[in-house]
Each structure stands twice: as structure tokens, then as C-alpha cells.
Structure 1
Amino acid sequence: MLYPKEKYLESEEFPFAAFPYPTLPERVMNPHTHDFIELVYVADGFGEHLYKGHSYPISKGDIFVIPPDVEHDYRVIGTAPLKVYNILFISSFLEAELQALSKVSSFMNFFYVEPFLRQKADFESHLKLSLPEAQEVQLRLERIIEEFDHKALGYRISIKALLIELLVWLSRCYEERLVQTWFRPEHSGIRELCAFLELHYAEPFQLEEICQMCGMSKTSFTHKFKQTIGKTFTEYRNEVRIQASLKWLRETDEPVIRVAERVGVGDVSYYNKLFKQQIGMPPREFRHKYRSGNPRAAAPY
């Protein structure tokens, strides 16, 4: 299905739209393309992004760009809505500004490279915001949406200025991910650790080993990790492990205890507890409801 710009953008003279969009668990799946650019920020919830025939996990803090003519859609994981912010526009909307920004490599990398590569070697091409960055980007998006909703005098000029400022700010965030000699190396190390955990979530690393990997004391590490990521190391690793287990539940017949072991949780009771906390239902119910080949799985969750 094609979502045309004539239906979703304000007008031919001002080809732009901005709004928050809660994707509900009951929403019928609708893979689609569009003839405009879509900037998406995930403000809350868990889900999967279906992009070019592949499925990628998304959660709070993910921000990415979907170019025109690419089929995609979302699934909600759990019982809570997946809350996203959408900014829609066509390239000519900021033609001169985009041409200037295209000379900045970090902008080009963020703006045109598929961001969900955290399971591959070049995982850094996605943009996962830290807690302070997520708070900042949400404030910026809400200002843009407020201007678009109220349409006060000069709102079009204001929206363009705010959008350009947002894109420049995001390109700087992306560039910081690429700079190895950052002024706050401990924060860079923690982000690299998170990417490492997304690849090696099943490994039984102890907290002391992790602290050594980052070159920090346990006290310093726990403080910096919570400050940078917005949750404790254990909370983050448990979230990654539960997200990784969804694929095994949907696509295999392996017992839940074996799935738990595959993602690094040796105690199946603890795994069941974590799963229900994050997803809102036990793993067996999730498997029955959403496993591959189940007709009910055609609806996003």
C-alpha cells in the first residue's frame, strides 16, 4: 500500500506533517511505502520494525529515518502501545539545507543508512539515544508538533528552523558515536559495551568483569551506566535477553527452559518473571499468540 504525500502532508506549498502516533497492540498489520521521508522517534514501548523484509527490535530511544519507496511496518511487543513521534516531509521541503548538510559525513550516515544493524558488525550506523539525549529530542519534537498543531503566525518558518536545528543536532549525536577520542571516554565505553552486549547477551559475564572491560571501579561504573543509559546494567542486560528470546519463541518449538538458557538466563522461573514484566504476558502465552504460522500473528503485537 502506498501512503501518498497528498493525503498525509499539509499541502503542496508546505509538504510537511508532524504528530505523535501510538501504535496499539490490536492494530492490523499494514506493510506500506510512502513517497515522502519519515523521521521516527520511539518514545516508549517495545516492538519490531519490519524493514525490507527483515525484522529489527525497537524500543525507547531509537531514532531513524525511513526514505521514500521502502516497504516497512511495525509490530508491538507486549500489551502496551508503541509510542512514536513521526515527522514527515519531502526532500524538496529542505532542498537547500539538505544540500548543505549532505557535505557533513555524519549527517549523511545517519540520514540515509538503515539504523537497525545492532546484530551485525557495523552496528554503529543506528542511532540509539542515551537518556539525556532522548529527553532532549522529545522536547524538540514536541516543539515542532506544537507549531504544526497551532499554526500560529509564522509557523511554517518556525517549523523549518526547528527541523533544521533538530537534524543538525542529531548529526552531532551520530558524530559523537564515531569519535573514539571523546572528551568523556567512559560514556563512549559504556555505549560500546551496550553494543557488545547486544551481540553477546548470552555470555555469563559478571559485573566485576564488565567493570574491568570499561576500566572503571564498580561504583563509578554503576553510576555512569545509569546516568548514560537510564537504567542499571542488570536491567539493560535483562531487557536485551528478553528481546532476543522472542525470535526463539516465535520460530522454534524449543522448550521455554531451553530458550531461557539460549539467552543466558539459567533459572526458568526468573526468566518467566522477567518476560512477564517486560512483555506483559508469560512466554508460553506469547508463543501461542504470535508464533510463526499462527494466523493471529498476522496482527501486530
Structure 2
Amino acid sequence: METQFYEAQNFDISRERKHQSSMPARHYHNGYEIFYLVSGDVCYFIEDKAYQVVGGVLLLIDMNEIHKLVNASGESFERITLVFKREFMEDLFPDHNNFDVLSSFSRKGHLLRFSGAEQSAIERLFDKMVAEFNNKPPGYEFYLKTLMFELLIFIYRHQETSPRGATQETGIVNKKIFEVVDYLNRHYDQRHSVNDIAKRFYISPSYFCKTFRDSTGFTFTEYLNNVRIKEARALLVGTGLKVSQIAEKIGFDNMTHFGRVFKEITGLSPLKYRQTYRHIEQLSCGVK
């Protein structure tokens, strides 16, 4: 199987919605890579391991590790890819004998899962970085390094507090769960229950609940709510729809419940979120 080498830039970040990877071949490069899936689900191969990646999951890829993304379902997915060289960050921590923030990349296991609130926090960091990188305002390189260091500290601390063995390799049972994930990503606006899903995919409810959590890191309800709230966030910022219309559009039939779930995940009410982050999203798209 062909493996290609790519020279990494000092720093590069992009956020895109895609149907397939722009790098279809197995490849490696002389930079560190952070891959974050905003929404959708893909399979990611790193060296000899295969990871099921769903929205809200982050992958750390060390220098010269062979990797490849595969989107077997063909459905669209939104991802953030960040690649950087060590020298980009070197001047921020010249003496790191006691603490090397880049050690996160050499730890065993590549996959990190985040709660809904953590996803909101890390995606805000990414959005700021994308906006700085695309628009290049005065001093943008210094601010990018500051944001990058904050991100690396966030990742380091998350690893320190996460239980060991949190990564998961693809298995036969997990492929059934991936079918469920594909279905939820396409039909999040409909009503779903554990029993309905278990019946549709011919799995017992108790077995489904356990296997779904083992495979994705989320309970069924947590995952469905995360998918819905991600869509709500995009609609709040990118459209003029009323909050009640958005709640209905993404599958909530109760405004109070929607508001409570939205605040639990993002830390803000829907209206406050719209007011606060609309300008950040516009900057990320190059709108001034």
C-alpha cells in the first residue's frame, strides 16, 4: 500500500465540511497533527490501529506517524485539521525539562473524548485560531501561538484527568453502532428512544446502551443531544430563525427542555450564544 510523505508547514489550520479526505493515501509528515471531528463519523487509521471517530472526538497524531481517514458511509462530515512544527511553539517554552506540553503526542493512545461543555470550549479556541489564520490581523502569529499553547494545555490536562484505556479500536460489534451513529447524524430532527433504535437495528436495549457508550464514549441521549445542539449552534449564528423555530427544527418539542440542554452543553442560553458568537463565526468565514 502506497505511503506518501508531506512536508509540514510551520502552522496550518482549516475547518471544512467534506465528503472525503483531500489526502486519500496513507501519509505521514514531519509535523504534529490535531484532528477534531465537529460532526459526522469517520474511521481513522493511525499506524496499526483503527479508530471510530464521532463528533466531539479529537485525535493526536505524532510526527512521522502513518495515518489515513476513511469515510465509508459517504455522508458529509465537518472536521478541523491543525498541523504545526515544534519550532512554531519553541520560543513559548524553551526550558521544558520538567514539563513538555508536546508530550501529549507521544503518550499511548491517540483518541480523546470530550463532554458537551468541553466541546464548546475547544471549538471556540479552534474558531479563534481559524479566524486569526485566515484574516491575519496585526500580531496574528503571536496570538496564534498563545491560542495554540492554551489548546495544548487543555489537551494535556484532559489526558491527566481521563481514565486510562479510553481509546477504542474498531471491532465487528462497533460497526453496528456506527450504523446507528450514521442514522442519528442524518435523522437527529426526529424523535428517538433507546427501544426504537434497538428494534430498528436488531439489538437488545440493554446491550445497545452498553455497546453504544463503549464505542462512542457517550450515552445514547448525550450523543443525540450533542448532535442536535451542534446544529442549533450553527443555525443560531448562521440564520435569522427564531429560537423556537430552531428548537423544533432540530427535534425538540419543548422550549424549556431545549434551553436547559443547550445551556448544559454550551454554558450559555441560546440567545446569549447567538449574541456572543455570531461575530466569531463571521470572522472564521472571512467576513469583516
2:12 alignment partner in structure 1: 17
In structure 2, C-alpha distance between the alignment counterparts of 1:102 and 1:80, rounded to whole Å: 45
- 5 Å matches for 1:1-301? 1-5=4-8, 9=9, 15-25=10-20, 29-98=24-93, 100=95, 103-104=98-99, 107=101, 110-116=104-110, 126-177=111-162, 242-243=177-178, 270-271=200-201
**Alignment check: 8 A CA contact 1:102 1:108 kept:** no
TM-score by length of 2: 0.54
Cα gap change, 1:68 to 1:108, in 2 (>3 Å)? closer
In structure 1, C-alpha distance between the alignment counterparts of 2:61 and 2:12, rounded to whole Å: 15
1:32 is paired with a residue whose SS is strand
Please give the per-residue CA displacement for 1:90-145, whole angstroms capped at 9, x wherever unaligned: 1111124355566347x4663322534xxxxxxxxx42111110111011001011
**Alignment check: 8 A CA contact 2:16 2:79 kept:** yes
The number of aligned residues is 189
In structure 2, C-alpha distance between the alignment counterparts of 1:135 and 1:87, rounded to whole Å: 17
In structure 1, C-alpha distance between the alignment counterparts of 2:167 and 2:152, rounded to whole Å: 27
Letter in 2 for 1:140: L
In structure 1, C-alpha distance between the alignment counterparts of 2:69 and 2:92, rounded to whole Å: 30
**Alignment check: 8 A CA contact 2:7 2:30 kept:** yes
Give the RMSD, CA atoms, in angstroms.
4.0
Cα gap change, 1:101 to 1:76, in 2 (>3 Å)? farther
Ranges in structure 2 where 5+ consecutive residues have no aligned partner = 182-194, 213-288
Structure (1 or 2) with the larger CA radius of gyration: 1
Please give the per-residue CA displacement for 1:28-48, whole angstroms capped at 9, x wherever unaligned: 831111121111111111111
Q: CA deviation at 1:64?
A: 2.3
Q: CA deviation at 1:21?
A: 3.5
2:63 is paired with a residue whose SS is coil
Q: Among all aligned residue pairs of Structure 1 and Structure 2, give the percentage whose two residues are the same amino acid.
A: 18
TM-score by length of 1: 0.52
In structure 2, C-alpha distance between the alignment counterparts of 1:137 and 1:55, rounded to whole Å: 24
**Alignment check: 8 A CA contact 1:50 1:56 kept:** yes
Cα gap change, 1:101 to 1:44, in 2 (>3 Å)? farther
Ranges in structure 1 where 5+ consecutive residues have no aligned partner = 10-14, 117-125, 179-191, 203-238, 247-264, 279-301
